[in-house]
Every structure is written in structure tokens, then in C-alpha cells.
Chain A
Amino acid sequence: MLLTIDNLSKTFPGTVALDSVRFDLKAGEVHALLGENGAGKSTLIKCLTGVHARDSGDVRLHGEPVSPGSTLEAQELGIGTVYQEVNLLPNLTVAENLTFGRQPTRFGMVSVRRMREDAKEMLAGFGLDHVNVSRELGAYSVAVQQLIAIARAVALSGKVLILDEPTASLDARETEMLFEVVRRLRERGLGIVFISHFLDQVFDLSDRLTVLRNGKHIVTAETAGMDRLGLIHHMLGHELDKAEDRRTTRSIRNERLHFKGLGRRGKIEPFDLTVREGEVIGLAGLLGSGRTETADILFGRTPADRGEATDPDGTIDLSNPRAAIASGFGYAPEDRKTDGIIADLSIRENIALALQARRGWAKPIPRGEQRALADDYIRRLDIRTSDAEKAVGDLSGGNQQKVVLARWLAMNPRFLILDEPTRGIDVGAHAEILKLISGLTDRGMSILMISSEFDELIAASDRVIVLRDRRHVSELVGDEIETSRIIAAIAAHDAEGAAL
């Protein structure tokens, strides 16, 4: 064994991030590490590379116990990491990036000629012969930068290579290029830890895989002997034969919005979507499958580079959030704290924000009106607060979410996008939010809801769209909406075979 981890535990205030986790890695294998958000993958990697200190447990490299105190120490021990975000400097040349910290010097001055030679040597075997090492790194595509980062990690460390979501921003061809290199490194005897949300890639590349869930080790197995369905069950920990609440499907109403071929290179494959009046559409999929990307495109946060959006009156401009809001769209993003609320402003100010933006800043909403608006929503959404002037940051998560909802409801949008509306909210508030969503559709509002919790999607949605690998792969309607079918769609091999 090249690397063995035993009984590794790590606690952060309030949460157990890793609970007696084990993991091992042979020389010359690719070992995939899998798990949903909060499973503990990143924490495990960070404990391994010296970013976090572990609370307890045993890490051995070649049988020798190691405990690196920093990324640098880990590097020197032979453990190199390449992150999704390329951790190199775009403003330095390729050669400087590769040789950084070990530039050959003569009389205290860096020898540029020898540095270039060293760099070329390090890049040999990575299929990067066209790269000019004297150019700055930033001139090259993310894929090439990624490969250069790997070349550096291999040259510096050379035993264990950790690839943390290396393909997240690469297209298919670039991914294949990267995999070629990884396979070659495997043959050279490196142990490679591969983290990815793309199951196809995991099956394509890895020899073994380990699944973590809620900070616990769930399974380690040969990839070849694992089927997709089983793997997803391990990752999600769902029980299949649980009775499920279903929203009663109502009469189909008028079609309201048509999105045709919307997509953006590197974010989400083009998709078609029709939204009807008073309908809740659920988006299901694993982390990184393109759920949030879909929402961002629909709201113009990352504008689509192809496709069009229309309603019965004509084309809708979705080039930026402001235009989307003007077309009657609303969006409560996943990360409430950074994207949703302004913590230091009061409930009243937060609720009035979007409405004020639409009216234009030259026409302030009178304070009394704002007050009445806020009081109205505090009552209707049952926001628990002493009064409307309290800073939103002081409210509980569920109440913050209600304030975000209230802001959009005050705009009376026709199409509201909710990304993980119940994340981090206690059970009671959870049910309230779902009830609220249901109540909104009765009044004709159309809602697109993203959620990792299938129960919630199933309970609230009229339709569920399943995403996999940044593609809309399946649509479930009515009685088809059940956990087993969603999981089957996520697990299906090719896009066509998704609808079971």
C-alpha cells in the first residue's frame, strides 16, 4: 500500500466532519473518492494535505506515519494536489510556474535559459509540446493550465496525486486529454486520488472507489464490480420502498414560458423547457449535475450563449438579472447568506429592495408604504421577529429564507426560481416553506425548485426534470415521480436510455 488512512476523525465546532474514516491507495491505481455535499471529501483531502490538523487517526505513506502541517510539507512528502480552480499564477510564465521555488540560479540571478529547459523537461509526456514555456500561463485554456498544474504536482511530489474535481470546467475533448495523462501517470506508478461528481468519468477512469456519506466511510470497492444504481444508493443513502407524499396533480393550465435550446458552453448543455401557469417544476440531480447552472441561465446570472426564451408576447431578454426581473422572473439563490439577503439591513429594507430597484431609485417608496409592505409579509409568511426593523442577519435561517421569498413575492413574479429553498432550515420551517410554495401556485405563479432532497421534490413538484453531467436527461410527470425513478434516471448510462 502506498497510502493508508485509518480511523481518521475531524470535528469542527458543531459538526463531526469525519468520523473514523478509512481510505487506502495503491501505487499505480486511480482511486475515486465520492460523496455528496457535506460527505467529508474535502475535509479528508484537507487533512491529508496538511490544510487541517486531524483530531485522531493514522495516516501512513509507504508504511511510515506522516502528519504534514502544511501543503508544502505534504508536497515534500510526495503528496501533490491539483484543484478545480487552477492554483497556479496566470501572470507568470509557464516556465516560472513549473519551476517556482526551485528556479535554477547563477550568482543569485535566475537563469532563464536553464529554467526553460527544466520546464520543457517537466512537460515531457504530457502532450503539451505546443506550449511555449516563455508565455504567461494565463494565455492558455483552463485545460492546458490544469495539465501544467498536474505536471508541476507530479514533478514536485511524485508519489500521490490528488485531483480535486479536475474536470469541472473542461469540455469533453479536454477531459479526454486530461484522462490520457492520468492513465499515463498511473502506468508510471503514481497513486491517484480522483474526486469527481461525474459518474461516467469515475467509471471511465478509476480502478477502485470509496464512498463517504455524512463524514462516514460507506464503502470501498472495485469500480468494475459496482453498478451505478448501487453506487448512487451508497452516495444518497435513500431507502427505496418508503411511502412518499405526493402533490396532487392539478389540471394542466396554459403554457406560459418557452425556453428553447438554452445553454452555455462549459456550464450546461442546451435544454428545452416549457413552463405552465401555476406549476412547480422540480430539478433533481447530483451535485454538479447542472442544477444551479440551469437556474443561473434562466435568470441571466450567467447569460446563455445559445437558444432563446419566449412567451406568448414574444422574445424575453434574459441577458442579465435586471432584464429577467423586468420580465417577471424571480430568483432565490442557493447561498442565502452571500447572494440572497443583505444581513445588515432590516427586514423592511430587504423586502423593499427588489421592488425599489424596479421602480428606479429616483422614486423612493415612501417609508410608510415599505413598512406596510413588510408588516403584511411578516404576517402572511409568519416571519418570527419582534418588528420589521430588525436586521435580517439576526433571524434564524428559516426566517431569512422567508424574507428572501417575501422580497420576490412583493414583486409578484410570474416565474420564481428557488435554489435549495429549505437548505439549513429546521424541520418545522421546512414544511411551512413547502406549504407556502404550494399556496403561491394556486394563485398562478410558476415555480422552478432545485433541491437535493428527493422527498421534498416529490412532495412539491408537478414535474421533475432530472439532470446528469450538465444535461437534462429525463422528465418525470405525475405518478412517475418517485425516488426510484429519479435515481434510475441519474444512474442511466447514456442520455437516450434515461427515460425508463
Chain B
Amino acid sequence: MNSRVLPLYATIAIFLVAYLICYLQFPAMLSTRVIGNLLTDNAYLGLVGVGMTVVILSGGIDLSVGSVIAFAGVFIAVMLRDTGLHPLAVFALLLAVTSAFGAAMGGLIHGLAMPPFIVTLAGMFLARGASYMLTIESVPIDHAFYDVLRSYYRMPGGGRLTLIGVTMLLAVVVGIILAHRTRFGTAVFAIGGGAQTARLMGVAVGRTTVLIYAFSGFMAGLSGIVFSIYTGSGYPLATVGTELTAIATVVIGGTILTGGSGYVFGTLVGVLTMGLIQTYIVFDGSLSSWWTKIVIGVLLLLFILLQKGLLILGQRQRSKMT
């Protein structure tokens, strides 16, 4: 069996076992209500997660996404308050801005041969600063169209399948196709496997890098839109540290942090696992929400050890095979 799929299977198994434990303790957790909320509550995280997965597959990192989400929220709120533009026009404008922002970071990373960590760290401060420039307060979004965006389909059992939840699922599907079924995706894996070799094999490394970060910027923008629908406001201090949560979900999803190996679908499972822990804490009622962080920390450690173990196993296997 392909040893690289193992982390993905492990993630899925952990999610299912965790769900089973939750169900045994609180049978109410197996309902369309909980599942619907799981999707809705974590939609914004799933969206940045997809973008982050592609970035990490290429061996990079994007620390700017948390700030970009906040910027998106503030941008939308201020534009809707101060101009007469329709929300869809504002969304289009925003996505253009965040994609261009990502593309610019990708261009710097490739053009100046700078580590993505530093470039996107600068991007993180820039985007956060830009949101403060627009406003320093929480700006409520009060637009009739937003009520349309909050529409949902009532599933049997009373669960709400919201538009933003569906958006996240669609984004995951698009991400899967993009990463695993297109030449662009192969180029991303190639760069993650070794940029120098990828160049020798004919990958347009520069163009691909720009596209990767533009995609991440786009997904962060989309995530910001979804977050603004979810919270109904724009706040410059929102989603601090979300980039790190996104990285955690990607790694828990079985993608190797050094790049070149992983699955977009795994990130979805990673996001849902994280959401599940939070839901459990809510159900329990007596646990502090900090337990989420502790469980995530333990899970992360587990997956890093698993990946290291697989790596060693793979090397042993190779030395035997001819």
C-alpha cells in the first residue's frame, strides 16, 4: 500500500473514533443539527485550510491568511456602510484585492528567493495594519442581501445546511481537483518535492509560486466573506492566530509540513476533527474551551510522530526493494 495515504487514513480513523466516543456519551451528537453546525461554524477555517494545503504542499507557508480574513471583514463592512455598492460587487473587488496580495507575496518569494515565512509574516502585519486603517472598531454589516446569504436548507432531523457550509464543501472539491487532478497540482507537488529538480523537469517555478499564493489569498478572501456572513460584522481584531489553526488542520489532515505529500480531503477531516472537539466541549458544559487547544496540541504531536515514523519506514522499505 502507498505509505503516504496512511496519515490520511489515520486522520479519518481518529475522526470516526472521536465521533463514536462523543456519540456514546451524548447520543444527541449524531444528528443533522450537529453536523450542519459543524460545517457552518468551521466554514471559514475550511476555506483557508484548502488554500493553506496547496501552499504547504508546495513546501511553503502562508502566515498572512488570518489577517487577510480580518481585512476582508472590515473591507466589506466599511464598503457596504460607506458606498452604495452591491455586496456581490464588493465581494468581487475584495477577492481581486486578496488574490493580488497573495500573488505579490508569491512574486516576492520567488523573485527575491526569500523564505515564504518572512514574506508572509510581513504580509500578516501589512494586512492587519490595513484593517486598522479602515476602522478600529467593529463595524456591523446590515444589508438585506446578507439575509439571503444566510439562507439554509433544512435537512431531515432539523439540521441547517447553510450556504456558507456548502461553499466550504464545494471549495474542498475544487481544491481536490486542483491539487490532485491538474497539471498545476502536479507542479505544486513537484515544487514541494524539490524546487531545483522541478525546474529541471520543466516546471515554471515562478509562475506556479505566484499562482499558489494568489490561490491562498483568494481562499483567505473567500473565507473573510464567509466569516462576515457568519458574524455579521467586520472587526480588525478578528481571527488572530487563525493562520496557525489552519496550519494545524492541514498537518492533522495528513499533509507533510515540508511539502510534497498530502491530501486536500485530509484538511477537511482535520477541520471537522477540530470542530468536533469544540462541539464536545459545548455539550459537556463543564470543560474549559482551552481543552480544544490541548487536544489539538496532542493531535499535532501525534501526527508529526506518525509522519516521522512513516518516513523512516519508507527508507527501510526502499533499501530492501530493487
Instruction: State yes or no: do A and B come from one complex.
Output: yes
Contact in complex: A174, B314 (CB < 8 Å): no
Contact A139 B197 (CB under 8 A): no
Number of interface residues of B (CB under 8 A): 28
CA distance A91 to B191 in the complex (A): 10
Min CB distance A48 to B, Å, is 15
The answer to whether the Cβ of B182 comes within 8 Å of any Cβ in the partner chain is: yes
What total of A-B pairs shows CB separation below 8 Å?
A: 75
Q: Does B189 lie at the interface of the complex (its beta carbon under 8 Å from any beta carbon of A)?
A: yes
Q: How far is the CA of A97 from the CA of B182 in the complex (A)?
A: 14
Q: Is the interface of B mostly helix, strand, loop or mixed?
A: helix
Complex Cα distance A136/B182, Å?
17
Q: In this assembly, does B72 line the interface, its C-beta being within 8 Å of a C-beta of chain A? A: no
Q: What does the 1/0 interface line of A469-486 toward B look like (CB < 8 Å)?
A: 000000000000000000
Contact with A along B290-322 (1 / 0, CB 8 A): 000000000000000000000000100111011
Query: Scoring A residues 127 to 156 as 1 if CB is less than 8 Å from chain B, else 0, what string do you get?
Result: 000000011101111011000000000000
- Shortest A476–chain B CB gap in Å is 36
Assess whether B181 is in contact with A100, with CB atoms less than 8 Å apart. no
Closest-by-CB residue of B relative to A90 is B193
Residues of chain A contacted by B194 (CB below 8 angstroms): 89
CA distance A103 to B261 in the complex (A): 19
Give chain B nearest CB distance to A46 CB in angstroms.
Answer: 12
A174-B193 in contact (CB<8A)? no
**B202, A92: Cβ atoms closer than 8 Å:** no
- Taking a contact as CB atoms closer than 8 A, the residue among B4, B185, B201, B203 that contacts A87 in the complex is B201
A27 within 8 A of B: no
Q: Does B12 contact A (CB under 8 A)?
A: no
Are the CB atoms of A89 and B197 closer together than 8 Å? yes
Cβ A110 vs Cβ B322 within 8 A? no
* In the complex, B100 has a CB within 8 A of chain A: no
Within the complex, the shortest CB–CB distance from B48 to chain A, in Å, comes to 24
* List of A residues within 8 angstroms of B321 by Cβ: 139-141, 144
User: Contact at B200–A140, with CB atoms within 8 Å?
Assistant: no
How far does the alpha carbon of A91 sit from the alpha carbon of B194 in the complex, in Å? 9
- CB of A100 within 8 A of CB of B318, answer no
Residues of B within 8 A of A100 (CB): 186, 190, 201-203
* Distance to closest chain A CB from B191 (angstroms): 9
What is the CB-to-nearest-CB distance from B76 to chain A, in angstroms, rounded to a whole number?
31
Interface residues of A in 74-91 (CB under 8 A from B): 75, 87-91
B106 to chain A, nearest CB (A): 20
Within 8 A of B (CB), among A172-204: 174
Query: Which residues of B have CB within 8 Å of A71?
Result: 200
CB <8 Å contact, B318 and A138: yes
B177 sits at the interface (CB 8 A): yes
A108 CB to nearest B CB, Å: 6
Q: Which residues of B contact A101 (CB under 8 A)?
A: 183, 201-203
Residues of A in contact, count (CB < 8 Å)? 29
Q: Which A residues are CB-close (under 8 A) to B46?
A: none
Q: What is the CB-to-nearest-CB distance from B46 to chain A, in angstroms, rounded to a whole number? A: 22
Is the C-beta of A409 less than 8 angstroms from some C-beta in chain B? no
Say whether B190 contacts A139, CB under 8 Å.
Answer: no
**Is there an interface contact between B322 and A141, defined as CB atoms closer than 8 Å?**
yes
Which residues 152-194 of B have a CB within 8 angstroms of A? 177, 181-183, 185-186, 189-190, 192-194
Check if A91 sits within 8 Å of B322, measured CB to CB: no
A72 at the interface (CB under 8 A from B): yes
Within 8 Å CB of A139, what residues of B?
A: 3, 314, 317-318, 321
Closest residue of B by beta carbon distance from A115: B186
The smallest beta-carbon distance between A479 and chain B, in angstroms, is: 45
Say yes or no for A96: interface residue by CB 8 A criterion: yes
In the complex, whether B198 has a CB less than 8 A from a CB of chain A is yes
B261 to chain A: which residues have CB within 8 Å?
Answer: 91
How far in angstroms is the closest Cβ of chain A from B56?
A: 13
Residues of B within 8 Å of A144, CB to CB, are 321-322
**CB contact under 8 A between A89 and B183, given known A140-B321, A144-B322, A174-B322:** no
Contact present for A88 and B186 (CB under 8 Å): no
Decide yes or no: A108 and B201 within 8 Å by CB, A139-B314, A144-B322 being known contacts. Answer: no
**A89 & B201 in contact (Cβ 8 Å cutoff):** yes
Chain B residues, Cβ within 8 Å of A174: 322
For B198, the closest partner residue in chain A by CB is A89
Provide the residues of chain B in CB contact with A103, threshold 8 Å: 183, 186
Is there a chain A Cβ closer than 8 Å to B260's Cβ?
yes
Find out whether the CB atom of A89 lies under 8 angstroms from the CB atom of B200: no
Do B189 and A110 touch (CB < 8 A)? Answer: no
- Minimum distance in angstroms from A216 CB to a CB of chain B: 29
Q: How many Å from the CB of B301 to the closest CB on chain A?
A: 23
A144 to B2 alpha-carbon distance, docked (Å): 18
| CB neighbours of B260 from chain A (8 A) | 89, 91
| Chain B minimum-CB-distance residue to A97 | B201
A88 near B183 with CB under 8 A, answer no
Give complex CA distance A112, B182 in Å.
10
Is A362 interfacial (CB 8 A cutoff)? no
Task: Report how far A71 CA is from B258 CA in the complex, Å.
Answer: 27
Which residues does chain B contribute within 8 Å of A105, judged by CB atoms? 182-183
Contact B197 A87 (CB under 8 A): yes
> Separation in Å of the A177 CB from the closest CB of chain B?
9
**Shortest distance in angstroms between A391's beta carbon and chain B's nearest beta carbon?**
26
Q: What is the chain A residue whose CB lies nearest that of B317? A: A139
B residues apposed to A, CB below 8 Å = 2-4, 177, 181-183, 185-186, 189-190, 192-194, 197-198, 200-203, 260-261, 314, 317-319, 321-322
Apart from A110-B181, A110-B186, what 7 extra A-B contacts exist at CB < 8 Å?
A72-B202, A91-B189, A91-B260, A101-B183, A109-B177, A139-B321, A174-B322
9 pairs across A/B with beta carbons < 8 Å?
A: A71-B200, A88-B201, A90-B193, A91-B189, A97-B201, A101-B202, A110-B182, A144-B322, A174-B322
